[in-house]
Amino acid sequence: MLPPLFIKWQNKNNTGIQLIDEQHRGIVSIVNSFYYLAEKGMCNDALFLSITKTLKSYSLIHFIVEERILKATEYPDLAKHIETHRKLSLETKRIEYEAIRDNDPMLLLKFLKKWWIEHINGEDMDYVPHLRMYEENRQI
Ligand SMILES: [Fe+2]
Protein backbone atom coordinates (compact mmCIF):
# COMPACT_ATOMS: atom_id res chain seq x y z
CA MET A 1 0.00 0.00 0.00
CA LEU A 2 1.21 3.49 -0.80
CA PRO A 3 2.10 5.49 2.31
CA PRO A 4 -0.67 7.80 3.56
CA LEU A 5 0.05 11.49 4.03
CA PHE A 6 0.02 12.84 7.57
CA ILE A 7 -1.08 16.24 6.32
CA LYS A 8 -3.01 16.34 3.09
CA TRP A 9 -2.77 19.70 1.37
CA GLN A 10 -6.17 21.10 0.49
CA ASN A 11 -7.23 23.96 -1.74
CA LYS A 12 -8.56 25.85 1.25
CA ASN A 13 -5.00 25.98 2.64
CA ASN A 14 -3.89 28.21 -0.25
CA THR A 15 -3.55 31.90 0.50
CA GLY A 16 -3.27 32.66 -3.21
CA ILE A 17 0.13 34.27 -2.63
CA GLN A 18 2.39 31.97 -4.58
CA LEU A 19 5.62 32.46 -2.67
CA ILE A 20 3.90 31.89 0.68
CA ASP A 21 1.87 28.89 -0.51
CA GLU A 22 4.99 27.30 -1.92
CA GLN A 23 6.78 27.70 1.40
CA HIS A 24 3.80 26.41 3.39
CA ARG A 25 3.76 23.34 1.18
CA GLY A 26 7.48 22.94 1.72
CA ILE A 27 6.94 22.85 5.47
CA VAL A 28 4.08 20.37 5.11
CA SER A 29 6.29 18.24 2.89
CA ILE A 30 9.04 18.05 5.54
CA VAL A 31 6.45 17.17 8.22
CA ASN A 32 5.04 14.43 5.97
CA SER A 33 8.50 12.95 5.41
CA PHE A 34 9.12 13.11 9.14
CA TYR A 35 5.84 11.24 9.77
CA TYR A 36 6.65 8.56 7.22
CA LEU A 37 10.04 7.85 8.80
CA ALA A 38 8.64 7.94 12.35
CA GLU A 39 5.85 5.54 11.38
CA LYS A 40 8.39 3.14 9.91
CA GLY A 41 10.37 3.28 13.16
CA MET A 42 13.31 4.76 11.29
CA CYS A 43 13.56 7.94 13.30
CA ASN A 44 16.68 7.36 15.34
CA ASP A 45 18.15 10.27 17.33
CA ALA A 46 20.43 11.44 14.52
CA LEU A 47 17.65 11.47 11.91
CA PHE A 48 15.22 13.07 14.34
CA LEU A 49 17.66 15.90 15.00
CA SER A 50 18.42 16.30 11.33
CA ILE A 51 14.73 16.59 10.43
CA THR A 52 13.88 19.00 13.22
CA LYS A 53 16.93 21.11 12.36
CA THR A 54 15.80 21.28 8.72
CA LEU A 55 12.27 22.11 9.76
CA LYS A 56 13.42 24.86 12.12
CA SER A 57 15.72 26.41 9.52
CA TYR A 58 13.07 26.32 6.85
CA SER A 59 10.39 27.69 9.18
CA LEU A 60 12.73 30.52 10.16
CA ILE A 61 13.35 31.40 6.49
CA HIS A 62 9.59 31.30 5.86
CA PHE A 63 8.85 33.54 8.86
CA ILE A 64 11.45 36.07 7.73
CA VAL A 65 9.97 36.16 4.21
CA GLU A 66 6.38 36.39 5.45
CA GLU A 67 7.18 39.09 7.99
CA ARG A 68 9.13 41.04 5.36
CA ILE A 69 6.12 41.00 3.01
CA LEU A 70 3.76 42.05 5.81
CA LYS A 71 6.11 44.84 6.87
CA ALA A 72 6.58 46.12 3.32
CA THR A 73 2.81 46.32 2.88
CA GLU A 74 2.27 47.88 6.32
CA TYR A 75 0.08 45.10 7.68
CA PRO A 76 -1.59 46.54 10.80
CA ASP A 77 -1.41 43.25 12.76
CA LEU A 78 2.27 42.63 12.04
CA ALA A 79 3.41 42.78 15.68
CA LYS A 80 0.80 40.19 16.68
CA HIS A 81 1.78 37.97 13.77
CA ILE A 82 5.47 38.12 14.64
CA GLU A 83 4.59 37.22 18.23
CA THR A 84 2.69 34.14 16.99
CA HIS A 85 5.75 33.02 15.01
CA ARG A 86 8.01 33.58 18.00
CA LYS A 87 5.72 31.53 20.22
CA LEU A 88 5.82 28.63 17.76
CA SER A 89 9.62 28.63 17.83
CA LEU A 90 9.64 28.48 21.64
CA GLU A 91 6.87 25.89 21.84
CA THR A 92 8.56 23.70 19.21
CA LYS A 93 11.77 23.72 21.24
CA ARG A 94 9.91 22.59 24.36
CA ILE A 95 7.93 19.84 22.63
CA GLU A 96 10.97 18.68 20.68
CA TYR A 97 12.78 18.23 24.00
CA GLU A 98 9.87 16.18 25.39
CA ALA A 99 9.63 14.08 22.21
CA ILE A 100 13.34 13.20 22.40
CA ARG A 101 13.16 12.55 26.14
CA ASP A 102 10.15 10.23 25.77
CA ASN A 103 11.31 8.78 22.45
CA ASP A 104 7.96 9.82 21.01
CA PRO A 105 8.25 11.63 17.65
CA MET A 106 4.43 11.58 17.31
CA LEU A 107 4.23 14.10 20.15
CA LEU A 108 6.08 16.64 18.02
CA LEU A 109 4.36 15.57 14.81
CA LYS A 110 0.86 16.05 16.24
CA PHE A 111 1.83 19.47 17.57
CA LEU A 112 3.34 20.54 14.23
CA LYS A 113 0.31 19.36 12.25
CA LYS A 114 -2.14 21.18 14.50
CA TRP A 115 -0.08 24.37 14.74
CA TRP A 116 0.70 24.77 11.04
CA ILE A 117 -2.78 23.97 9.78
CA GLU A 118 -4.40 26.26 12.34
CA HIS A 119 -1.90 29.03 11.60
CA ILE A 120 -2.19 28.76 7.83
CA ASN A 121 -5.99 28.66 7.91
CA GLY A 122 -6.22 31.22 10.70
CA GLU A 123 -3.70 34.04 11.19
CA ASP A 124 -2.23 33.66 7.70
CA MET A 125 -5.61 33.83 5.99
CA ASP A 126 -6.31 36.99 8.02
CA TYR A 127 -3.66 38.95 6.11
CA VAL A 128 -4.85 37.83 2.65
CA PRO A 129 -7.49 40.60 2.17
CA HIS A 130 -4.86 43.16 3.22
CA LEU A 131 -2.33 41.89 0.67
CA ARG A 132 -4.97 41.72 -2.07
CA MET A 133 -6.04 45.29 -1.36
CA TYR A 134 -2.43 46.42 -1.34
CA GLU A 135 -1.85 44.76 -4.70
CA GLU A 136 -5.00 46.33 -6.23
CA ASN A 137 -4.14 49.83 -5.04
CA ARG A 138 -0.60 49.51 -6.28
CA GLN A 139 -1.83 48.80 -9.78
CA ILE A 140 -4.08 51.88 -9.91
FE1 LIG B 1 2.47 33.27 9.58
pLDDT digits (tens, 9 = 90+) for 20-42: 999 999 999 999 999 999 999 99
pLDDT for 2 equals: 82
Cα-to-centroid distance, 29 and ligand 1 (Å) = 17
pLDDT for 45 equals: 87
Q: What are the CB-based long-range contacts (under 8 Å, 24+) for 46-55?
A: 48/99, 48/100, 48/105, 52/92, 52/96, 52/108, 54/30, 55/27, 55/30, 55/31, 55/112
Cα-to-centroid distance, 81 and ligand 1 (Å) = 6
Domains and CATH numbers, the chain: 17-139 (1.20.120.50)
How much is the average pLDDT of 65-91? 96
Kindly tell me if the per-residue pLDDT of 140 is higher than 80. Answer: no
Cα-to-centroid distance, 135 and ligand 1 (Å) = 19
